[in-house]
Chains A and B, each alone.
Chain A
């Protein structure tokens, strides 16, 4: 069985082709390509621009994916697309493309929940059997555990997603959005040393990030660390720094790197804490981290220490599978397709709101 997966719920357009061999041997990734819409520093991606980007690239990427996978249209069994959750406009452009291909080629459609796609891809790549899942990205922050055919949400953010919090602070500091704002924050945070006091907001299994963002934005303003000029200044200083590092003592006023470091330490501690609670609650020893923020090495390290102290282990993937991609949609879609699930053309809509626990997970016991 071969499926094409089409993902475009945010600024990444991903097309993936997966093969599930009929003899039951492990699934294979035939193609996994992605094109990202990158906005200028200091700005986020707007729905209409992102949708325009996806419309412009989708045909090209599908053609390229088929070529890379060395399969013809006839070999394809079904077309899987992201039904939600996500930003409305980009979701729509991809669903229109999926519908068009379905009519053109006479293939059946499978609508996939984006979060379930992440979980299934993570399970496939890491081999974790029944983990507690921490799903962290620019749009989602959830702690999930599987129980009787549903991925149940144990804890989640009460306001913004953790990735959104990091991305927006990157905007405050005018950090580049290429390849991703969170990645650049991570690099800058490696130079940070001083921990700045920030709010720490965990309520039971839930957490909240908007107050932290407001607090750190305020600190950046207070110390004059935000904005374009400071970003340029920092770049120049970095060049000179290699010469004078030896003389540098500990500074009393925090730097931009210190703020990035403190933000990461604080929000990641919150995430590890709620994950640990969920593990204690369901008695699981495996943690799987998925989603774009999941590719952050500091988060993986902290989660690893926590899991080790509980006698368990952490499973994480790299950016190819963590960050939004097409194969995860193909993977989850094909699992559903195998149980007889189809999305008829007239129901092939998309939705911004589609909770993880709404999906009936028929392919697991």
Chain B
């Protein structure tokens, strides 16, 4: 088996100095860190490479549709003042490869400093596990209160997103960044100070339906349950933050109860 080589970068990123560094590779897109306009301004570059297994017409249609959908959601959210990375540039007809043909589409966004919420929660859970024995009850409570505060902020951020008429489609703790405040660092386990910024709108769409909003919350609930067992009992705090964030929240939360009951029980014929 040969080693994996990411597809060639589309122009102009195939000759920028320093070359963009690959941060993450999903099924759909590659995320790079690069710079925008001048070498000291970092930026995030998301490339959706063309998929050679697909018919070229279908490939262009899907890639274009998806990158534009993502860009439109981002642009709308920035306009509404929701904390998401700002959209800097976009090309849905990207050229790549040596022949300079169709090479996929790309989107450049503002670089968000900070750790993923997933990392923050993991660090906190690890810290708690290690130090639990030496903490008294009030200290444990204090620690939990800090995470409660973080979850509440996450709820408020998601509420703001939904208020703007956008649903994320893939809410996990890996798609939330905790952007630290300048010069802040507290005592205790890990810092939970800062703004919660939503990222990765690859599956986002514009919707104001309770159903879609409830599914967003349900996906996040399941993700927290499977990756952060210790933080899961505090999920109610997130819902509290969400409830207070906009007027339509209570009805979306009511729908969430139905969505939880649903699960997948259906079976297929074969």
Where the two chains meet, the residues of A that have a C-beta atom closer than 8 Å to any C-beta of B are 9-10, 84-87, 114-115, 137-142, 156-157, 161, 195, 197, 200, 204, 265-266, 269, 272-273, 276-277, 279-281, 285, 301-303, 305-306, 309-313, 352-355
Residues B269 and A352 in contact, CB atoms below 8 Å apart = yes
Residues B53 and A139 in contact, CB atoms below 8 Å apart = no
* Closest residue of B by beta carbon distance from A275: B27
Q: A204-B170, A306-B53, A311-B1 are in contact. Are A265 and B58 (CB under 8 A)?
A: yes
Partner of A139, one of B27, B61, B62, B268: B268
Residues B270 and A280 in contact, CB atoms below 8 Å apart = no
> Can you report 10 A-B residue pairs in the complex whose CB atoms are below 8 A from each other?
A85-B268, A87-B269, A139-B269, A140-B270, A276-B27, A280-B27, A310-B4, A352-B267, A352-B269, A353-B267
Residues of chain A within 8 A (CB-CB) of B51 are 269, 273, 306
Residues of chain A within 8 A (CB-CB) of B54 are 265, 269, 272, 302
Q: CA–CA, A162 to B3, complex, Å?
A: 33
Q: A200-B62, A279-B27, A280-B27 are in contact. Are A114 and B53 (CB under 8 A)?
A: no
Residues A10 and B55 in contact, CB atoms below 8 Å apart = no
Q: A266-B58, A311-B4 are in contact. Are A204 and B267 (CB under 8 A)?
A: no
Residues B26 and A280 in contact, CB atoms below 8 Å apart = yes
Residues A309 and B3 in contact, CB atoms below 8 Å apart = no
Residues A200 and B2 in contact, CB atoms below 8 Å apart = no
* Closest residue of A by beta carbon distance from B268: A140
Q: A269-B58, A277-B27 are in contact. Are A302 and B270 (CB under 8 A)?
A: no
* Closest residue of A by beta carbon distance from B270: A139
Contact residues of B: prevailing secondary structure: loop
Residues A85 and B53 in contact, CB atoms below 8 Å apart = no
Residues B27 and A354 in contact, CB atoms below 8 Å apart = no
Query: Min CB distance, A13 to chain B, in Å?
Result: 15
Residues of chain B within 8 A (CB-CB) of A138 are 270
Instruction: Map CB proximity to A onto B25-38 as digits: 1 under 8 Å, 0 otherwise.
Output: 11110000000000
Query: Min CB distance, A224 to chain B, in Å?
Result: 24
Residues B267 and A305 in contact, CB atoms below 8 Å apart = no
Q: CA–CA, A200 to B170, complex, Å?
A: 19
Q: A302-B53, A310-B4 are in contact. Are A137 and B270 (CB under 8 A)?
A: yes
Interface size class of B (residues with CB under 8 A): 20 to 34
Q: CA–CA, A301 to B7, complex, Å?
A: 19
Residues B203 and A157 in contact, CB atoms below 8 Å apart = no
Q: CA–CA, A197 to B7, complex, Å?
A: 27
Q: A142-B268, A285-B1 are in contact. Are A309 and B62 (CB under 8 A)?
A: no
Residues B2 and A141 in contact, CB atoms below 8 Å apart = no
Q: A195-B58, A200-B62, A265-B58 are in contact. Are A161 and B268 (CB under 8 A)?
A: yes
Residues A85 and B57 in contact, CB atoms below 8 Å apart = no
Q: Is B52 an interface residue, CB under 8 A from the partner?
A: yes
Q: CA–CA, A200 to B51, complex, Å?
A: 15
Residues of chain B within 8 A (CB-CB) of A84 are 270
Query: Min CB distance, B157 to chain A, in Å?
Result: 22
Residues of chain B within 8 A (CB-CB) of A140 are 268-270
Residues A157 and B268 in contact, CB atoms below 8 Å apart = yes
* Closest residue of B by beta carbon distance from A265: B55
Residues of chain B within 8 A (CB-CB) of A273 are 27, 51
Residues of chain B within 8 A (CB-CB) of A9 are 270
Ranked nearest first, the 7 interchain pairs of A and B with the lowest CB-CB distance are A353-B267, A139-B270, A311-B4, A280-B27, A305-B53, A302-B53, A140-B270
Residues of chain B within 8 A (CB-CB) of A141 are 268
Residues of chain B within 8 A (CB-CB) of A305 are 52-53
Q: CA–CA, A311 to B25, complex, Å?
A: 13
Where the two chains meet, the residues of B that have a C-beta atom closer than 8 Å to any C-beta of A are 1-5, 7, 25-28, 51-55, 57-58, 61-62, 169-170, 203, 267-270
Residues of chain A within 8 A (CB-CB) of B169 are 204
Q: CA–CA, A352 to B267, complex, Å?
A: 8
Q: CA–CA, A312 to B2, complex, Å?
A: 8
Q: CA–CA, A269 to B55, complex, Å?
A: 8
Q: A204-B203, A265-B58, A272-B53 are in contact. Are A85 and B27 (CB under 8 A)?
A: no
Residues A311 and B3 in contact, CB atoms below 8 Å apart = yes
Residues of chain A within 8 A (CB-CB) of B55 are 195, 265, 269
Residues of chain A within 8 A (CB-CB) of B2 are 311
Residues of chain A within 8 A (CB-CB) of B61 are 197, 200
Query: Min CB distance, A323 to chain B, in Å?
Result: 13
Residues of chain A within 8 A (CB-CB) of B267 are 85, 352-355
Residues B269 and A86 in contact, CB atoms below 8 Å apart = yes
Residues A200 and B58 in contact, CB atoms below 8 Å apart = yes
Residues B53 and A303 in contact, CB atoms below 8 Å apart = yes
* Closest residue of A by beta carbon distance from B3: A311
Q: CA–CA, A213 to B35, complex, Å?
A: 46
Query: Min CB distance, B247 to chain A, in Å?
Result: 28
Query: Min CB distance, B16 to chain A, in Å?
Result: 24
Query: Min CB distance, A88 to chain B, in Å?
Result: 9
* Closest residue of A by beta carbon distance from B57: A195
Residues of chain A within 8 A (CB-CB) of B27 are 273, 276-277, 279-281
Residues of chain B within 8 A (CB-CB) of A265 are 54-55, 58
Residues of chain B within 8 A (CB-CB) of A86 are 269-270
Query: Min CB distance, A309 to chain B, in Å?
Result: 7
Q: CA–CA, A353 to B264, complex, Å?
A: 13
Q: CA–CA, A138 to B269, complex, Å?
A: 9
Q: Which of B1, B58, B170, B269 has the most CB of A within 10 A?
A: B269
Q: Which of A265, A309, A354 has the most CB of B within 10 A?
A: A309
Q: CA–CA, A84 to B267, complex, Å?
A: 11
Q: CA–CA, A285 to B1, complex, Å?
A: 10
Q: CA–CA, A197 to B60, complex, Å?
A: 12
Q: CA–CA, A306 to B59, complex, Å?
A: 13
